[in-house]
């Protein structure tokens, strides 16, 4: 386990291109493998999670050319052409495990979905139960966690499923299963979650049904044909630089080619509400997704805010950063309705509160969020808790602190952003 110390700095400046979007990379690899013909995925994210998805498709008989550090031509085997192996190692990739479950119910064969110790703690009943209601044979470990055994190619029937908590992963799993089912499969959410799956399926020729907060597909679908695509920059990775720039830009930080899908950019709304100075420069769409450049200038003054439950789905991966912003804002900052964070790579609510408390921040933990009392951040030592987002939170905290922050287990940042330290150095934090 490595410890990396991030010293306080006076300012950040310059321009970088953030890593490619992890969510879109996962889907491009999966849907490209299921397509009829060769699909070229340009600018994929080179990370451990992406590697797990690529290895899973190769294990299922998909021929792959190239590597994640360049373009990847995938020789699609068709919607029902995967050859499930005895076991698929999803490593730490929760998105992979949930999405591939919806794909495997339509393949001919049996497979076990498993992962590392962290992934084995994450709930799978939220997809296993509705898949079973469709007629699929799905068995989880006791307690509804991985490993998950799927016996594919059972007759499936479309269902209507109401999600109690908005989840792009659960929604995507059921829509993918719906491609193989007779009739319509609908998923209704309390709020709109990220819609990358719907956008990419439409690009692949699938009709997406919409009705308010409900989205659906009509099956069975004969096949899909995803066009070659370029993966835009990941907003969740850009978020760390957005916050660092808001606290430290001198005179500005420019982030190039970032995905600006409105189901992902809730942090922008919260930042601007708190007083951040951010300009959006729109560019032509990429992979069916809006994207552009972000220009960040140091905020003269940040004001505490309240993040309401209906806002959580659009910033679920950035809630930890709201806590950090709250530490530097006037007044209090409260987040509620984020109970989903309890079952991420870590209990992200507890890990965030523990990290900031150890750095001298006054933060109160709630069942579904937290309240931060502004006043700055001293510094100290935190544990990444096996969570890539907590690791990078600690890094940004260190840059803006008075005494610096040492992050134990920082290597976990490679799950989504292997070049994070390099990019921070390029912006002036050496």
Beta-strand pair 332-335/306-307: parallel
Give dist(CA 6, CA 374) in Å, integer.
Answer: 21
pLDDT, residue 339, reads 84
DSSP at 190:
S
CA distance 402 to 6: 11
What predicted TM-score, i.e. pTM, was given to this entire model? 0.85
Dist CA 333 CA 273 (whole Å): 12
How far apart CA 52 and CA 59 sit, in angstroms, is: 10
pLDDT of residue 343: 66
Which of 317, 347, 387, 423 does the annotation list as catalytic? Answer: 317
Q: Which is nearest to 200 in space by CA: 229, 180, 163?
A: 229
Low-confidence ranges of the chain (pLDDT < 70): 343-345, 429-430
Strand 405-408, strand 3-6: pairing? antiparallel
Q: CB within 8 A of 222, min separation 6: which ones?
A: 79
Cα radius of gyration (the chain)? 21
Strands across the sheet containing 110-114: 87-89, 110-114, 145-151, 137-141
End-to-end CA distance of the chain: 21
Q: Give the per-residue pLDDT at 430.
A: 46
Structure tokens of 371?
């309240």
Distance CA 123, CA 143 (A): 8
Contacts of 224 (CB under 8 A, 6+ apart): 31, 34, 35, 36, 79, 179, 201, 204, 205, 206
Dist. CA 282–CA 279, nearest whole Å: 10
Omega of the bond prior to 251 within 30 degrees of 0, cis? yes
How many residues does the structure list for the chain?
Answer: 430
pLDDT at residue 345, rounded to an integer: 67
Q: If DSSP codes are grouped into helix, strand and coil, which group holds residue 177?
A: helix
Question: Three-state SS for 310?
Answer: helix
Helix (H) or strand (E) holding 282: strand 277-286
How many other CB atoms are found less than 10 A from the CB of residue 210?
11
Strand order from edge to edge, sheet including 249-259: 12-17, 249-259, 289-297, 277-286
How many C-beta atoms surround the C-beta of residue 325 within 10 A? 28
Residues 6+ apart with CB under 8 A from 413: 384, 388, 391, 392, 395, 420, 421
234 is catalytic: no
Angle, helices 94-104/168-178, rounded to nearest 10 degrees = 20
Q: Is the dihedral of CA 240, 244, 246, 252 positive or negative?
A: negative
């Amino acid at each position: 386990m490595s410890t990396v110390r991030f010293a306080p700095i006076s300012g950040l400046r310059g321009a970088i291109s953030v890593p490619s979007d992890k969510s879109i990379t996962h889907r491009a690899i999966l849907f490209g493998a299921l397509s009829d013909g060769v699909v070229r995925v340009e600018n994929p994210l080179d990370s451990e999670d992406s590697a797990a998805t690529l290895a899973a498709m190769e294990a299922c008989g998909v021929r792959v050319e190239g590597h994640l550090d360049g373009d990847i031509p995938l020789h699609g085997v068709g919607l029902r052409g995967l050859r499930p192996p005895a076991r698929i190692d999803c490593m730490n990739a929760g998105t992979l495990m949930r999405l591939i479950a919806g794909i495997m119910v339509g393949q001919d064969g049996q497979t076990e979905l498993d992962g590392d110790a962290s992934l084995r703690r994450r709930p799978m009943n939220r997809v296993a139960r509705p898949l079973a209601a469709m007629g699929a044979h799905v068995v989880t470990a006791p307690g509804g966690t991985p490993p998950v055994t799927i016996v594919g190619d059972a007759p499936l029937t479309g269902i209507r499923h109401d999600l109690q908590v908005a989840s792009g992963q659960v929604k995507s799993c059921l829509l993918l299963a719906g491609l193989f089912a007779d009739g319509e499969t609908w998923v209704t959410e309390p709020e709109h979650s990220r819609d990358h799956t719907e956008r990419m399926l439409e690009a692949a020729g699938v009709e997406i049904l919409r009705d308010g907060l409900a989205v659906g597909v009509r099956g069975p679908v004969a096949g899909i044909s995803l066009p070659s695509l370029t993966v835009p920059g990941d907003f969740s990775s850009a978020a760390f630089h957005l916050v660092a720039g808001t606290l430290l830009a001198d005179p500005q930080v420019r982030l190039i080619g970032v995905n600006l899908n409105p189901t992902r950019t809730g942090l922008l709304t919260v930042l601007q509400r708190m007083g951040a100075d951010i300009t959006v420069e729109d560019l032509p769409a990429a992979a069916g997704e809006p994207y552009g450049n972000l220009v960040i200038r140091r905020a003269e003054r940040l004001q505490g805010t309240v993040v309401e439950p209906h806002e959580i789905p659009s910033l679920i991966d950035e809630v930890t950063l709201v806590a950090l912003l709250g530490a530097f804002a006037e007044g209090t900052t409260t987040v509620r309705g984020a109970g989903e964070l309890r079952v991420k790579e870590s209990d992200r609510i507890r890990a965030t509160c523990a990290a900031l408390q150890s750095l001298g921040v006054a933060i109160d933990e709630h069942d579904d969020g937290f309240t931060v009392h502004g006043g700055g951040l001293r510094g100290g030592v935190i544990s990444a808790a096996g969570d890539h987002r907590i690791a990078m939170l600690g890094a940004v905290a260190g840059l803006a602190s008075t005494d610096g922050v040492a992050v134990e287990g920082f290597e976990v940042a490679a799950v989504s952003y292997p070049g994070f330290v390099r990019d921070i150095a390029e912006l002036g934090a050496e």
